[in-house]
Amino acid sequence: MARKKFVYFFGEGTAEGNGNLKELLGGKGAGLAEMTNIGLPVPAGFTITTEVCGIYYKSSKKYPPGLREEVEKNLKRLERLVGKTLGDPADPLLVSVRSGAARSMPGMMETILNLGLNDKSVEGLAKKTSNRRFALDAYRRFITMFGATAMRVAREKFEEELEDVKERLTRTRLKKGRGKVFDTDINEGELVEVIRRFKKVYRDNTDKDFPQDPVVQLWGAIDAVVGSWMADKAVTYRRVEKISGLLGTAVNIVQMVFGNKGGGSGTGVCFTRDPNTGKNVFYGDILMNAQGEDVVAGIRTPIHLNDLKKKIPPIYRQLAEVRKRLERRYRDMQDIEFTIEEGKLYILQTRNGKRSPRASFEIASDMVREKLISKEEALLRIAPEDIERLFYPVVSPDIPSGELKEKFFASGIPAVPGAASGHIVLSAKDAEDWAAKGKSVILVRKETSPEDVGGMHAAKGILTARGGKTSHAAVVARGWGKCCVVGSEDLVIDYLQKTVSV
């Protein structure tokens, strides 16, 4: 019997896999293969199948025989294609090592970027890019990600060191009173110190030196991704979302591209339609001069796709073309991750986008009209919960998100979905009295008790500072289908002064 194939290559217009192999290559791997096949600009790489992860857990955490050789062979192929070698001190190839199961589990598993950097190759990257600051910055990020995910060193330990350096900056180099210091304020010399400190954190917490051998780094990262499949949070997520029957996660090893090489670079996410309203408009944000993780960290404000259109029109046009082609191929709204490296566009991921109930209807019916899907298919795309949720009042999706952000006051745990507006009242009695006079009120309490039920019933909505999804307020409100937010812990409620502040 021929041996099973455990690794699938993609690059330069052809891939061994394709979009139909989601079970085997995971959603991300199948997407990368498919996008490569249809000629989209995808950085090259290879995918270790979900079967490998399955075998690993069935055979007391051992990889199947032959896997090492297959990975080695594919790495060589990638190096040949790109013309760079992993760990080369003069001009290193860098890769990301990314998880990806057949069903999307956002944020549940690990990704390591900039793998292949060590004390020597970081200087090679510095010379090759004529940007030592960029190279050093990539290295310190890699040490953090590798330390945190592959070796389970608490991320805060690295962050503390970085904060320490930043704090000194405020005292010395930067003018006093300038406010916040950004990561981008740290200069080359300071980054060298950050790296030295990070390596010490690594050593102190693992009893090992930070690995300089890129092959050791690579297998450490593969272990981390495969290991993240059984991490508590991933197991819990699958239970809660009722995801079962999957083989495991795939591991995607992808040539790094850089969105943090200056003003002509950036990284972003876009949806082929508006995921809130479902309208057929291009929707998305880009963070200029940034690497993937910065988007989540919210360090700087992203720019809108319309700004990209003005700033780098050819990239916008290319992205708009990608939008069209991916929708036609997948016949559904796509959520696309991309990076621009010095004016060149790369697509890093595509998947069916999550959407609001309203958008589900809008998109399904629009796609019937556009002849992308049949009526029957459109009906099957609407979940029963979508129909239920459609009847709750919602905050108008036409209000610009900027305006909502400006008016944002506090957040809490969503107990019962919906939206409500009215005067704030702080006691059940006030709620009943005011409601009797025809006023709309929101009952705001630290928590509710059975005595409050009359006022709760009279109110349009309920907000509490304490309690979770099973608190009194949540349970009672749920029974009525009344909009309710609980556990909004930042709220300071003073019953005597009748004030609510954060």
- Residues contributing to the site for Mg ion (CB under 5 A): 337, 349
Min dist. Cβ of residue 74 to ligand ADP (A)? 15
Is 342 strand, coil or helix? coil
Select the binding partner of residue 96 from Mg ion, ligand ADP, none (C-beta < 5 to 8 A, by kind).
ligand ADP
Using CB under 6 A as the binding rule, whether residue 260 contacts ligand ADP is answered as: no
Instruction: Name which of 136 and 378 has its Cβ closer to ligand ADP.
Output: 136
Select the binding partner of residue 267 from Mg ion, ligand ADP, none (C-beta < 5 to 8 A, by kind).
ligand ADP
3-class secondary structure per residue, 381-411: CCCHHHHHHHCCCCCCCCCCHHHHHHHCCCC
Report residue 456 as tokens.
Answer: 């709760």
**Phi, psi at 8, each rounded to 5°:** -120, 125
Instruction: Name which of 108 and 378 has its Cβ closer to Mg ion.
Output: 108
Report residue 43 as tokens.
Answer: 């950085």
Is 291 strand, coil or helix? coil
Using CB under 6 A as the binding rule, whether residue 348 contacts ligand ADP is answered as: yes
Would you say 472 and 448 are in contact if contact means Cβ atoms under 8 Å apart? yes
C-alpha 361/C-alpha 441 separation (Å) is 31
Select the binding partner of residue 113 from Mg ion, ligand ADP, none (C-beta < 5 to 8 A, by kind).
ligand ADP
Report the residue number whose CB is nearest to ligand ADP: 292
Using CB under 6 A as the binding rule, whether residue 137 contacts ligand ADP is answered as: no
Select the binding partner of residue 256 from ligand ADP, Mg ion, none (C-beta < 5 to 8 A, by kind).
ligand ADP
Using CB under 6 A as the binding rule, whether residue 224 contacts ligand ADP is answered as: no
Q: CA nearest 246: which of 399, 57, 120?
A: 57
Would you say 245 and 323 are in contact if contact means Cβ atoms under 8 Å apart? no
Min dist. Cβ of residue 95 to ligand ADP (A)? 7
Q: How would you classify the pairing of strands 499-501 and 492-494?
A: antiparallel
Interaction mask 274-303, ligand ADP, x per CB under 6 A: ------------------x-----------
Cα–Cα separations (whole angstroms), residue 403 to 399, 400, 463: 7, 5, 22
Taking CB under 6 A as the criterion, the residue among 121, 267, 277, 360 binding ligand ADP is 267
Instruction: Name which of 107 and 450 has its Cβ closer to ligand ADP.
Output: 107
Candidate ranges 124-132, 251-259, 277-285, 363-371; the one touching ligand ADP (CB under 6 A):
251-259
Q: Which of residues 33-52 bind ligand ADP (CB under 6 A)?
A: 43
Min dist. Cβ of residue 206 to ligand ADP (A)? 24
Using CB under 6 A as the binding rule, whether residue 98 contacts ligand ADP is answered as: yes
Element (H, E) at 314: helix 313-330
Using CB under 6 A as the binding rule, whether residue 339 contacts ligand ADP is answered as: yes
Using CB under 6 A as the binding rule, whether residue 337 contacts ligand ADP is answered as: yes
What are the start-end ranges of the E strands in 363-498? 413-416, 423-425, 441-445, 461-464, 484-486, 492-494
Would you say 97 and 112 are in contact if contact means Cβ atoms under 8 Å apart? yes
Using CB under 6 A as the binding rule, whether residue 254 contacts ligand ADP is answered as: yes
Min dist. Cβ of residue 110 to ligand ADP (A)? 8
Within 8 A by CB and 6+ apart from 479, the residues are none
Min dist. Cβ of residue 335 to ligand ADP (A)? 10
Q: Which CB contacts under 8 angstroms, 24+ apart, belong to 210-213?
A: 210/143, 210/146, 210/147, 211/118, 211/146, 212/118, 212/119, 212/120, 213/87, 213/118
Instruction: Name which of 42 and 484 has its Cβ closer to ligand ADP.
Output: 42
- Calculate the dihedral angle through the C-alpha atoms of 151, 84, 347, 137, rounding to the nearest 10 degrees: 50
Select the binding partner of residue 334 from ligand ADP, Mg ion, none (C-beta < 5 to 8 A, by kind).
none
Q: Which of residues 428-447 bind ligand ADP (CB under 6 A)?
A: none
Min dist. Cβ of residue 90 to ligand ADP (A)? 21
Q: How would you classify the pairing of strands 461-464 and 441-445?
A: parallel
Min dist. Cβ of residue 155 to Mg ion (A)? 19
Min dist. Cβ of residue 337 to Mg ion (A)? 5
Interaction mask 106-135, ligand ADP, x per CB under 6 A: -x---x-x----------------------
Residue that is written with structure tokens 């092959």 in the block: 215
Is 110 strand, coil or helix? coil
Select the binding partner of residue 350 from ligand ADP, Mg ion, none (C-beta < 5 to 8 A, by kind).
none
Q: CA nearest 461: which of 413, 501, 422?
A: 422
Ordered DSSP codes for 226-245 = HHHTTSHHHHHHHHHTT---
Residue that is written with structure tokens 């709309």 in the block: 440
Burial class of 156 by CB neighbour count within 10 A (0 to 12, 13 to 18, 19+): exposed
Number of residues that bind ligand ADP (CB under 6 A): 16
Taking CB under 6 A as the criterion, the residue among 35, 195, 222, 257 binding ligand ADP is 257
Instruction: Name which of 106 and 450 has its Cβ closer to ligand ADP.
Output: 106
Min dist. Cβ of residue 278 to Mg ion (A)? 22
Cα–Cα separations (whole angstroms), residue 390 to 172, 273, 334, 360, 485: 56, 19, 22, 10, 19
Binding site for ligand ADP (CB under 6 A): 43, 96, 98, 107, 111, 113, 254-257, 267, 292, 337, 339, 348-349
